[in-house]
Amino acid sequence: MKIREPKPPTITVSIAPYGRMKIVGEEGDDGLALLKHNWASLWPAVKRDIERMRKNHEAPVRFETCKWMADGHRLEPDVFMSDQADLFLRIRLEACPEPEDALPVWDFFIKGTDIVHCQPVY
């Protein structure tokens, strides 16, 4: 008999004008609850930073054609940026046509409703 692994906790948030994005969390972590609570304040800054970072990409990018996914959780002590941020959010685009399929993922380090650091990860 095969034992099913429990599905990780998820939330779905609005990412206007691109639709909706599922954020997957970690079991026993309250990071998703914090992201959900602060999302209306966070999204404009996250969107601005992603659009700024995409301008460095060589080809034009059409975010509307992609499926948006993310991972989010509380930062553990003694990891990169944990001295300045409480939450980690990694956004990736899936099911994209070229050239979007070559886009990086984007990491966000968040304290409350402020982005303290963000970067593309290739």
- Enter the pTM of the model: 0.88
**pLDDT, averaged across the chain:** 89
Q: What is the pLDDT of residue 5?
A: 78
Q: What is the pLDDT of residue 119?
A: 93
- Domains of the chain by residue range: 10-121
Q: What is the pLDDT of residue 103?
A: 73
Sign of CA dihedral 79, 32, 22, 84: negative
Q: What is the pLDDT of residue 18?
A: 93
CB 63 within 8 A of CB 103: no
Q: What is the pLDDT of residue 99?
A: 62
Q: pLDDT tens-digit profile of 12-38?
A: 999 999 999 999 999 999 999 999 999
Q: Does residue 94 have a pLDDT over 70?
A: yes
Within 8 A by CB and 6+ apart from 32, the residues are: 9, 10, 11, 23, 25, 72, 73
